[in-house]
Amino acid sequence: MSNISYLPVSATPARTTENGKVPPKRHKDTRPRKHLEPSEVAALLKAAHKSGRYRLRDEVAVMLAYRHGLRATELVSLQWAQIDLRGATIVIPRAKGGFETHHPLRSIELRLLGKLRRENPEAPYVLMTERGTPWTTSNFRKVLQRLATAAKLPISVNPHALRHACGYKLAADGHDTRALSHYLGHRSLQSTERYTAQSKARFKDFFRD
């Protein structure tokens, strides 16, 4: 009878050494991506456009949040008094100690906002519920989750994912950190550097043939 003993099948083999030391265990990075890609925002907008009775309101909400990097509280607080359709501008008082910013409105935004205003000529707030009350951040979050499901997006979507999507998109387009910081209403450049640090456009002119 052999005296050889065998390890159980489930036993974990010893890790080999590197340069005489046991290397630390490597963990796969499973942190979720916190921003949407432009193609995913486009899918959300497409889903909103088909979403039914309140599709115009929902499309406006997604577009404004994305194009202007709005926090959920900034979005649901928007009033028509802040929007100049003739002058094509929107005034955004920023939350969290940020400073007020004035953004241009592009043609597609003006078209959708004009239609929404005609549907709600007396409403003080841009985004209203079916009961005629202003939207809450919870309303926006639920609408986003529904649209993300309809669009079959591969990641969880929350309101701040659209603000991050704006920052990463503009950084990728080559806009400098200070201009982007002002656009997003950041008090500190450190809050903006997360976007520009990962932008490929940042280094595009470092070497030339």
| Residues catalogued as catalytic | 71, 96, 160, 163, 186, 195
How far apart CA 107 and CA 110 sit, in angstroms, is 5
